[in-house]
Each structure stands twice: as structure tokens, then as C-alpha cells.
Structure 1
Amino acid sequence: MLMRTAPLAQVDRASSGLKVPLAWHLPPPVMSAVDSGLMGMTLDDIEGLLMRSRLYAHAAGDLASFTPYPGLMSSPLRRIGNKSVQELTGICAGSLQVWLKCDHETPIGNSIHARAVTHALLPKWPVSKIAVLGSPGLAACAARMGKSMGWSVEHHSARPLASDIRWGLAKAGVIQHVHHCTPGDVRIVMASQVSRDPATCWIDACESEDTALAYACAAIELKEQLHGAGVKVDSKNPLLVLVPNAEGVSAAALAMALKQIYGRAVRTVLVEEDANLSLLPSLMDWPRTSEHYRPHLPWVLARRAVAGVLTVEQAVLQEWVKLVSRRLGWTLSPMGVAALASLGMATAEYSGLPSAARSMWGDRVDAPCRNVVVWLTEAAGEGAVGQTPTAQTSGEDCESPVQDTD
């Protein structure tokens, strides 16, 4: 295993002494036949889901206005000028073009999770309740959408969540259930309950290939937007994509879809908060008994599709929330700005494709990345990932409605 630290000993553009992100280059993947079979997600599967969802959307009425081409819950792609890149990151962009994929502007949900919620509920529309297993961020997004669309949201987990996550879900109005069993047992129990309640939409955000396909639709969307902007992506013009990763499936599915579209011409790098690791322990082959070990499907999707992982301090993310608000006028969550906070380090480590990362897929392309896509995953708000109680609204002011379920 190779961990490459930053070439700069300490960074902080505001002279606060915060450390730069750490770049982790992953070991070569070792996949079993079963694992390889799970990687059967193809572009035909993704486009088929989009086609079916558009048909459902026309019958859904209220949601029809939120289905612009090329996909459901589209978000804009914006180019950021070289001057702004230098002001925000301290790097001289030169011929580098930086694009911001603004998922914080998705209709209603303001989050990367809005696509997963929409694709899941359309076949069952109308619904009165959404039940989510595994992803607090998806549950919070569904709750924000539910305030406009009229459904309630439950979140089901196998074990108690961290206090700040419980606080966020409570603020978003999510009813929380802790089952004190394995995720597989929760999945069985919830599937049987939902089958008896046709008005409830069940979303498995841990191991569902359907949920992964919904997240992957964003890759098709990005492809169309880059083509419309005249950006050519091939072996001579590779693309670097930075995606924040807090919960696994969304970033892993997106990375796999981008690999299906662009092959060796894309280098997807995940960004995780160092105090809340998600896929990094599994991708680095840490023991499965580790407290950080995460579900199997995201690991399988990411194993051959991710070039590396960057980890960022929570304090750095909090500073970047303020910086983005001040310079760009956007109010994002801490994880929402994670990719932008890592832009300088990612460009230094991956735009030239270091040999340690290249060995992952046997990619021999040596051309530098002149286009970088930075994914801004969600706006600040109730239940946003990384959002913590403020001085005005402390955790004690909002008691979390958690229900223990034996």
C-alpha cells in the first residue's frame, strides 16, 4: 500500500495552519468472480432507467416539470474562470479548465441524492412515505423534497448513528428507526413491511443496484453537458473528476459510470473527510473487522473505477464553506465543498497521472488533464452531510425522534 502525502508540509491560504489533503494511491484490485459479476452495470442499463423514468414522469404530473433532458433532476455545469481558480485554490490554472457540476442546484432536493429519490419513487407514484436504509444524506434529501411534494420520510439503520447525523435528520423531519441487527436483517424486515404498504417507497441505499443506477445517471448528464460545451474527452484529452464521498454508493456508482463512458480517458478521485471515512478503508484493503468497513456493493463499483482518494480535515471543510459563500455566493454543506477544497492537491497529484495511480487500471495514457470537473454535491440545509448544530440552534434544542426497534 502506498500513501503519498502532500508535497507541501502545511497549507492554509488563510494562514490558519490547517494541513493539506492527503492523497492515497490505491493498491491494484483483486476481484473475485462474484465481485466481477456485480460490475455488470452498463450504459444500456443506465439509459434504460432514464427512459423508463421519463415515461413514469409524464404520468406523475407534479414531477413532470423537473425532468429536463438529458436526465431527471439535472443540475448545471458551470466553468469557473482562471482568476477565480487562483483566488480560491492558490494554483495558477494556466491552460487548465475547471468545471463545477452544481448538484446543489438540483430542483427541490438541492443534492446529488435527488436523482436517487426521484428514480425510486416514480414507478410507485403517488406515495405517502419514503423509507430509506443506509444513507442519512439520501433520507434528508427525501425529507426536503417531501416538504414540497407531500410525503413523510423514515430512516432505518442497523446501529445508532453519530449524534450530529441524528441532529441533522431530526431537523429535516426524518423519523429514525434503529434496529440493532445486521443491515441484511433490516433489509429483509423492511422489504416485507413495504410489500404490504403500496403507498410506501422503499430505497435501499446500501446494496441496491437500482439505487446505484439512479446515481449513475449523472454521468450521462455530464457527458451531454461536456459535449455541448465543446469539451473533447479521449486518450489525448483525459478528464479529471473530483467527487465528494460521504456514504459510498453515490460516488462509487458515478465513478463506475464515468469509466463505462470514457474508459481510460477519465480519472475519478474521491474526496472523504478524514474523521468520517467511507470507501477508503475498503479500497486500501484494511481488515473487514475495522470499524470503518462499509457495504460491499460500493467497494465493488469503485474498485476498478477510482484512481485515488483524498482525505480532508473537517476544519478545512468548514473554512471552505465560508470561502465559497464569500467568493461565489453559494451556501454549501461541508461535504458539498469537499471536492473544491481538494482541487489544488488533486491537480498536483492526479492531473499528470502518477505511476502509482496509473497501475490501478494498467492505463498508459501520459497526456495531462486539461479539464477538471469538481462535483459540488449539496447545498447547506437541514440534514446536509457534515452539517452540525450552530450556536443559534444547538443539538439540545431539537430532540432527535429515534425509535429503537428490536
Structure 2
Amino acid sequence: MLTPQLLDTLKRRETTLWINPLRSPSRPVFDPALVEQAARRFQRAGGLLARTVRSLAGGDGLVESPLIDAEPLRQALAGEGRWLIKADHRMPLAGSVKARGGFHEVLAYAERVALEAGWDGEDFASLAEPRWRSLFDEHRLIVGSTGNLGISIGLLSRALGFNAQVHMSRDASEWKKKLLRDEGAEVVEHDGDYAVAVQAGRREAEADEHAHFVDDERSELLFAGYAVAGERLASQLSAQGIEVSSKHPLLVYLPCGVGGAPGGITFGLKQVFGESVHCWFAEPVESPSVLVQLAAGLDSPVSVYDVGLDNQTLADGLAVAQASMLASRCMLDSLAGVFTVSDEALRGYLRLAQERLGERLEPSATAGFAGPHWLGEAAGRAWCEANGVDLHAATHVLWSTGGGLVPDEVFAGWVKAEEPE
């Protein structure tokens, strides 16, 4: 419930841990078959991606990130158990968690356009040929984004030959806009926030029969693409000999904006590990959109503006006022909870990641670092006891969601506690 006490905590911009009271084993509200289809589409499209994405050339076209040891970070933060980072900031081309979902939707659209034009559907790699690229040049993908989804959609669309139009809010970083423009994508800027950019993109696509709108708030293609991460992580854990069970649970901490990417990942993980995995969302104190929506219930949309927050945060990738209702419905009985983090803490985690791990992230990508701390506090300890979770025996996965494409001067500005233009 969105209680007076919780409202007061949020309005005061105090960091907090919200434990989901409705979490319970249940029948999924999203079709698992769509995730299987997404996994097969990625496999079939490997040859096309290897031919069109420079960073995948010479390989099998797998769009995935490494799972890296985070022991130095655990020591610095006095954590328990085994710590790992799912390094989505190293994702090919897109440099963020948005690669799986965004790439999947672009590939699905390419498949649809080609099939309608007579493609036999057999060899995905053939879509790199001039005939199909010429066809794709007559179509465009449109998306509203704070940045990382726009990069994912924009860069792969251009790589395949599509036109791309990205509507971006005032919260989006200038370097992300420049990156897209340099790669030939059209960037449309709006004075309003993320929601305004999404609405504008949706209207633009509705007026163009050769356009496809990538809807970060409602898209099942995006959600299914993100959910493929569940099986991928399971394979990586198995390869490292890491057991996931009731005695050795998996605790996953996911930075959250609109909720689609962390929601899809959580869905995929729950399909694989069931009650042995516990997923937590991390949100900025100014933009806890999923926390507010889940606490208020799903009868109607609720935004952070409704509780007196301004949605202004250093974590531009998480600066979303209204959560995805699709993601919220899927998370209502499967998400362990949500914790919030301050901009000051994000800067500190940013420095730690660089100093202890040699990894360069963006502020949004460090939000999950606060998760193990919250589970070590009184409310978190009580939750662990109630759910039979031994933090020392657990594997903690901090999901790094972006930063791979950040320019040197921008990163230096973050570390120095000043944000360059």
C-alpha cells in the first residue's frame, strides 16, 4: 500500500527499501512462448548481425554480455556471499541492457517487412544483401527514449538499412543525442519529459504507414527480448559452476526506469529458477516510478509527480515518471521489492566500479550496487529470514545496465561531480 509513512519517506527524498507484500508463486501473466520465440529469432538472426554489426563480425552474432567477478567491490562495500556483475555495459553496438529488447524488436520488424515483400524466411543473413537494404530504406523505426533504448533501436536500425527517428526528453544526455546523429539517426528533442517524447513518437508513427513505433511502455516484443537474459545468465552461472537452489539462492539487483528491461529480465529469471531467484529493482529517489505504481496498485496509472517528486536525477536512463503498466502487471506478484538510491551514492559507486573493477559505467548502471546493503539492514534481514535466504550462501548479481559508449570527457565530469554539456 502507498501508506502515509511511505509517502512521507518518498517526499523527503529519503532512500528506502520497499518489500512487495503481494509476492507469491503464481501463473505468469506474460506468455513464456513469446520468450522462446525471441530466443529462436536471435539464434536465426546471428548471421545477419555478424554481417551488419562491426563488433560482432567474424562470430556467431550472439548479442550477450559477460558475467564478471566483483569480489573487489564486495570487499569495498563489506558485503556477504559471492558478488558478480552482469556486464550489460559491454553489450555489442548498444552498450547497454537495452540491446536485447531493442535488437529483438528491430529484427522482428525486419522479418515482417521482408516476408511481406516475398522473402522466403529461410536465411536471415540474406537480409544484409542490397535488395533488402534498399527495401528497408523505405521504412523507419520510431522510438521515444531517455537515451539507451533510442541508441539500441537507432544504431541497429541504421546498421540494417532502416531509417530511425528517436524522440528524446530533456533528461537525455547530449552525448547520446550526438552519437545517434553521427550514425545517421534523426533525433527529435522535446521540452517535456520521457512521457512527452513517447507520446510524440507514437503520434508520428501512427501517421506513417511505413513506420513502426517501438513502445517502451507496452511492447511485448521488447519484453520478450529482455527476458531471453534469463536462460543466458543460467548458462553463464552453470559454466562457472555456480549452484542456484533454495540453499544457494540467486539475488539480482536491477536498475529500473520504465520497468520494461528489468521486468523482462526478472520474468526470464523466474521462468528458469523459480523461487530460488529473488529480484530487486533499484530506482533513484526522484524517480521511483515502479515502486510508486506497485505500492498504489494497478487500478490506474500513478506517476512520481503525483507524490511530489520532480523526476530530476543524475541517472538519466532511469528518469521516468510513469512506469510501464505491462511491466508492473508482470512484476506485481514476482518482484521481491524495490529500493531507492541517491545521486550522491551513484557517484560513489561509479568511482568504485572504476577503481576496484576497472569498469566504466554510467550512473544509472550503478544503482543496483545498493541492493546488498539494504538486505543487510533490519527490514532486509527480516525479509531474508522469512524467505529462508542466507546472504552468505547467496550469489548476488549486480546488473550493470549501461556505460559502454560513454565519451571520456563525460565520464570524467561524472567522476568529478560535475556534468558537462
Q: Output the TM-score relative to the length of structure 2.
A: 0.71
Gaps of 5+ in 2: 6-12, 111-126, 128-132, 306-320
Which one-letter code corresponds to 1:196 in the other structure?
H
The question of whether the paired residues in 2 share the 8 Å contact of 1:23 and 1:349 is answered with no
For residue 165 of structure 1, what is the aligned residue in structure 2? 172
For residue 130 of structure 2, what is the aligned residue in structure 1? none
For residue 176 of structure 1, what is the aligned residue in structure 2? 188
Structure 2 CA distance, aligned partners of 1:240 and 1:347?
13
For residue 62 of structure 1, what is the aligned residue in structure 2? 52
Higher alpha-carbon deviation: 277-286 or 66-75: 66-75
The question of whether the paired residues in 2 share the 8 Å contact of 1:98 and 1:373 is answered with yes
2:63 to 62, 70, 73: 73
1:23-42 per-position Cα deviation (integer Å, ceiling 9, x unaligned): 11123269xxxxx9981331
1:113-142 per-position Cα deviation (integer Å, ceiling 9, x unaligned): 111222122241544543213553200344
For residue 82 of structure 2, what is the aligned residue in structure 1? 97
TM-superposed deviation, 1:54: 2.1
TM-superposed deviation, 1:295: 2.8
1:240-273 per-position Cα deviation (integer Å, ceiling 9, x unaligned): 1111112310011111221121111111011111
Aligned residues: 356
Structure 2 CA distance, aligned partners of 1:69 and 1:135?
31
Q: Output the TM-score relative to the length of structure 1.
A: 0.73
Higher alpha-carbon deviation: 142-151 or 116-125: 142-151
**Residues 372, 49 of structure 1: alpha-carbon distance in 2 compared, 3 angstrom cutoff:** same
For residue 296 of structure 1, what is the aligned residue in structure 2? 325
Structure 2 CA distance, aligned partners of 1:351 and 1:289?
26
For residue 371 of structure 1, what is the aligned residue in structure 2? 395
1:75-129 per-position Cα deviation (integer Å, ceiling 9, x unaligned): 1111223x54112x133x3xx1111111111112111011122212224154454
TM-superposed deviation, 1:376: 0.9
What aligned pairs does 1:1-400 form with structure 2 within 5 A after superposition? 1=1, 21-28=15-22, 39-42=29-32, 44-59=33-48, 61-63=51-53, 66=56, 72-81=62-71, 83-87=72-76, 89-91=77-79, 93=80, 96-123=81-108, 124=110, 126=133, 127-128=136-137, 129-134=140-145, 136-143=147-154, 153-156=164-167, 161=169, 163-165=170-172, 167-172=174-179, 173=181, 175-176=187-188, 178=190, 189-193=203-207, 195-197=209-211, 202-285=213-296, 288-290=301-303, 291=305, 292-348=321-377, 354=383, 365=388, 368=391, 369-379=393-403, 381=405, 394-395=420-421
Structure 2 CA distance, aligned partners of 1:69 and 1:370?
34
Structure 2 CA distance, aligned partners of 1:67 and 1:217?
22
**Residues 147, 262 of structure 1: alpha-carbon distance in 2 compared, 3 angstrom cutoff:** same
Gaps of 5+ in 1: 6-18, 31-35, 359-363, 396-406
Cα RMSD of the aligned pairs, angstroms, is: 4.0
**Residues 103, 192 of structure 1: alpha-carbon distance in 2 compared, 3 angstrom cutoff:** same
**Residues 324, 367 of structure 1: alpha-carbon distance in 2 compared, 3 angstrom cutoff:** closer
Higher alpha-carbon deviation: 254-263 or 186-195: 186-195
The question of whether the paired residues in 1 share the 8 Å contact of 2:369 and 2:398 is answered with yes
